[in-house]
Structure 1
Amino acid sequence: MLKKLFLSICLLAFLSIQAQDKIVYDIKVKGVKKTKPSFVKKLMETKTGKVLDSLTLENDITVLKRLPGVAHAYYQIFHSHDNLYNVFVYIQENFTIIPELAFWTTTNNQFAYKIGVYEYNFLGRNIAIGGFYQNNGYNTYSFNVRAPNLFSRNFGLAFTHQNWKSEEPLFFDNQSANYLYNNISSEILGLYQIDFNHHLTFGVNYFQEKYEYLRGATSPSVPQNLKVDKILYKLLYTYEDLDYYYHYLDGFKSILYLQYVTSENDFQDQFVIAWNDFFYYDRIGKKGNWANRLRVGFASNNDSPFAPFALDNNINLRGVGIIVDRGTASIVYNTEYRHTLYDKKWFALQANAFIDAGTWRQPGGEINDFWEDRNIQLFSGVGLRFINKKIYNAIFRIDYGFSLKDNTRGLVFGIGQYF
């Protein structure tokens, strides 16, 4: 009898506790003009009728702040009646139709320009669509669409078609030659979100590469004209645990890239490329941000002038120049301190000081190449960031980098943070 009474009391206590759970009565999305409220609710794990959980809500807000169309987001909870509560989600939207216009001169003093337009919140559903045209003495164009939530909150697709032409140096026998490089590609990718922190990107890229000799050194072992069809199989794994607050970042992110390229020719065999980018960001006070990127990459070690890892201003070392060397493996570390000098309403101005360091394995070389002085590059410098807080990725950057080993130096311009 006492046992039954004890079990009855425990059951009543359990039911009483369950009855006190806070339940989501309604979710109201405020502040959106372009983004569809139904899409916002689709992305959230917090749902009407479910138990109200603050940790889940925090994760939902972080997911929303990662969207191109969202400058900032936060939530409030209000009691409705009984144990039912309303969740108000407030969103400050970004302007997401971004024109692109750039001018520069190439290494052979050719005037070049690039024009394009991208919409990063097409139909109010986090779909990015756009393209560009570029003329650097040759005609280049690209079109792409990326819909990460096309089929569900976890699964989407991306497609890109591009016809790229540029004059690029190739390095062989301690000499170099300039070639016209043409890459015509079509790529389709699946985008899958495993959970809050883990994401997969996978797919295939069919492309044709052409190399046409322009000037410089020649060698019987290096063709003056080359045309080859290739297929690239791609897998990306992303782990992201970043906290976003406007242009400030805090936390850790890792992206692993795995690529397998098939080709049939005498100068480029089938090969594998793999690299990992590790990012670490730390908020320092109210105006400081310390940013770090470590990239470690390896490819099949073919003794070929067509090595995949380039040493370049716009990729890894600010001030080094445009494609000044190539390798089959690389280790690069970038670190910079960003400090906000001015921050009012829609505009912010940041200054930064940086160090970029890297080393390369020469095509066909050994691991010991990493430690040889001729392969190690070390740059430092300062820069400015002009930030429009109301427009997605509207960060114009300018950096001045100089070598700590020789007299190499230069200015680097771009859109978005360097990393």
Structure 2
Amino acid sequence: MKIKVASFLFFFFWLLNIHSQQNKILDVKIVGVKKTKTTFIKNLLYSKKDAVLDSSFLEKDITLLKRLPAIAHAYYQVFFSHDNLYNVSIQIEENATLLPEINLWTTTNNVFSYKLGLYEYNFLGRNITLGGFYQFNGFDTYAVNFRAPNLFSKKWGLAVNHQNWKSEEPLYFGNQSANYVYNNISFEVLALHQINLKNRIDFGLNLFKEKYQYLSGATSTSIPQNLSLNKALLKLVYTYDSLDYYYQYINGFKSILYAQYVLTENDFQNDFYIFWNDFLYYKRIGEKGNWANRLRVGLSSNEDTPFAPFALDNNVNLRGVGILVDRGTGSIVLNSEYRYTIYDKDWLAIQTNIFSDIGSWRNPGGSLNDFIKEENIRIYSGFGLRFVSKKIYNATFRIDYGFSVLNTKGNSKGGLVFGIGQYF
């Protein structure tokens, strides 16, 4: 019996000695931050003081930091201190995060339109987005947005949004169309949960009022000229993210699922669902090339209504197709482009790109066979330029020219598309 006790104690102290000899972190130092709070960054890290030194955790920390809007680049260094203790130094290059938003364009009726906004993406140095915009497109629109992914803890946060949106939109029914003023007044609250480094979920409630007012075009006895609807929307966004960033270059895979269920009490529309999934794949090719892809697949309740939720539009899915040229209850779109850096200095990079955008739609009240009908398929190809600031978050000015590959009747022959941020 004494031999067994002695053997157990020997084995126990041997394990304790092995554990005590593991390399440990004496301290974690954050270098290079000016605006972001050091305490906030340390709370996010997997690598902490007195923890076991683990290179896999350090790699996770760098990936996590490079995904923050406030951080342009990050890397770590490990320095021996004494015994089995090491100091970890995390070097950070910060982005400028107080950004104006300025857009100019013309609407379907050639009204000169503009959008002016201001957003801070690192409010209080704690990865909080706060801002809003005013837009004039013949009508007045405004929005206020607040998003704090780490408000309550490392894994839990909150988003609150309010928007009063107005725009003139074409609605299509049969071979006819009409222009309506569309007004959406919404209040949204979302809970934000970071499950782990690669998985995130947002969920919550949006209460909104929709108004439609007839302006011009065809009319139908089955479609009201004035409509006001009170609705509630249950929202879920699930994100899987394994992307790795190196300044303007991206590598890896990302999937974002958007699922919504809309509750409404009126005689014109029923409750309906809508979901779509973005599959994004990026591959670095050589030193200066980047192949980028987005596959979007979406479906909604298949009602025969001109107010179908999926829009065919320049700024959303097909570059060159035009502004709000059609609507559907289903959508399959593949965007693929090759970006090549032709200029790369300390603060600025310039990229050229060639692209192809391919899409198909299910008509309101139609069938899944609509996706393979020739008249519903659109293919646009083209080329463009990107001016990328390497010191300002999301400050990429893009210009693309897309032209139609198919000679489908009614197709736009092509056009220019401007924007801020990469197309996807």
Return the TM-score normalized by structure 1. Answer: 0.98
Paired residues for 1:403-414 under 5 Å = 403-406=404-407, 408-414=413-419
Letter in 2 for 1:265: N
Partners of 1:261 and 1:169 in 2: how far apart?
22
Letter in 2 for 1:410: G
Letter in 2 for 1:413: F
Do the aligned partners of 1:267 and 1:304 also contact (CA within 8 Å) in 2?
A: no
Letter in 1 for 2:289: G
Letter in 1 for 2:206: N
Counterpart position of 2:290 = 289
Partners of 1:371 and 1:288 in 2: how far apart?
33
What's the CA shift for 1:247?
A: 1.2
Partners of 2:384 and 2:267 in 1: how far apart?
44
What's the CA shift for 1:137?
A: 0.9
Counterpart position of 1:344 = 345
What's the CA shift for 1:326?
A: 0.5
What's the CA shift for 1:327?
A: 0.5
Do the aligned partners of 1:358 and 1:377 also contact (CA within 8 Å) in 2?
A: yes
Paired residues for 1:165-176 under 5 Å = 165-176=166-177
Q: In the TM superposition, what whole-angstrom CA distance separates every residue of 1:120-178 from its partner, at most 9, and x where no partner exists?
A: 00000000000010111110001001000000010000011011010000000211001
Partners of 2:42 and 2:289 in 1: how far apart?
33
Counterpart position of 1:258 = 259
For this pair of structures, how many residues does the alignment match? Answer: 419
Partners of 1:173 and 1:252 in 2: how far apart?
40
Counterpart position of 1:417 = 422
Letter in 2 for 1:262: L
What's the CA shift for 1:298?
A: 0.6
What's the CA shift for 1:20?
A: 1.6
Report the RMSD for the aligned CA atoms in angstroms: 1.3
Partners of 1:268 and 1:52 in 2: how far apart?
59
Partners of 1:262 and 1:5 in 2: how far apart?
70
Counterpart position of 1:227 = 228
Name which of structure 1's ranges 398-407 and 122-131 shifts more when overlaid on structure 2: 398-407
Counterpart position of 2:192 = 191
Partners of 1:8 and 1:131 in 2: how far apart?
65
What's the CA shift for 1:7?
A: 5.5
Counterpart position of 2:312 = 311
Stretches of 4+ moved more than 3 A in 1?
1-13
Name which of structure 1's ranges 75-84 and 302-311 shifts more when overlaid on structure 2: 75-84
Counterpart position of 1:216 = 217
Do the aligned partners of 2:398 and 2:418 also contact (CA within 8 Å) in 1?
A: yes
Q: In the TM superposition, what whole-angstrom CA distance separates every residue of 1:316-351 from its partner, at most 9, and x where no partner exists?
A: 000000110100011111111000010000000001
Q: In the TM superposition, what whole-angstrom CA distance separates every residue of 1:234-283 from its partner, at most 9, and x where no partner exists?
A: 00110000111111110000011110001122322100001111010001
Partners of 1:307 and 1:203 in 2: how far apart?
23
Partners of 1:204 and 1:232 in 2: how far apart?
6
Do the aligned partners of 2:103 and 2:419 also contact (CA within 8 Å) in 1?
A: no
Whether 2:121 is the aligned partner of 1:116: answer: no
Partners of 1:278 and 1:381 in 2: how far apart?
22
Q: In the TM superposition, what whole-angstrom CA distance separates every residue of 1:261-317 from its partner, at most 9, and x where no partner exists?
A: 011223221000011110100011111110111111010000100000011101100
Counterpart position of 2:132 = 131
Do the aligned partners of 2:302 and 2:364 also contact (CA within 8 Å) in 1?
A: yes
Paired residues for 1:26-45 under 5 Å = 26-45=27-46
Partners of 2:117 and 2:371 in 1: how far apart?
39
Whether 2:93 is the aligned partner of 1:92: answer: yes
Q: In the TM superposition, what whole-angstrom CA distance separates every residue of 1:187-209 from its partner, at most 9, and x where no partner exists?
A: 01010001111100001111100
In structure 1, stretches of 5+ residues that fail to align are none
Give 3-state SS (helix, strand or coil) of 2:243's partner: strand
What's the CA shift for 1:16?
A: 3.3
Counterpart position of 1:237 = 238
Name which of structure 1's ranges 3-12 and 174-183 shifts more when overlaid on structure 2: 3-12
What's the CA shift for 1:15?
A: 3.1
In structure 2, stretches of 5+ residues that fail to align are none
Letter in 2 for 1:411: L
Counterpart position of 1:179 = 180
Partners of 1:7 and 1:189 in 2: how far apart?
53
Letter in 1 for 2:398: R
Letter in 2 for 1:254: S
Partners of 1:140 and 1:379 in 2: how far apart?
31
What's the CA shift for 1:9?
A: 5.7
Identity %: 64
What's the CA shift for 1:374?
A: 0.5
Do the aligned partners of 2:290 and 2:338 also contact (CA within 8 Å) in 1?
A: yes
Partners of 2:22 and 2:150 in 1: how far apart?
31
Counterpart position of 2:370 = 369
Letter in 1 for 2:215: L
Q: In the TM superposition, what whole-angstrom CA distance separates every residue of 1:351-394 from its partner, at most 9, and x where no partner exists?
A: 11101001100000011111110011111000100011100000
Partners of 1:267 and 1:140 in 2: how far apart?
26
Counterpart position of 1:384 = 385
Partners of 2:226 and 2:46 in 1: how far apart?
55
Partners of 1:410 and 1:386 in 2: how far apart?
20
What's the CA shift for 1:3?
A: 6.7
Return the TM-score normalized by structure 2. Answer: 0.97
Whether 2:56 is the aligned partner of 1:55: answer: yes
Counterpart position of 1:160 = 161
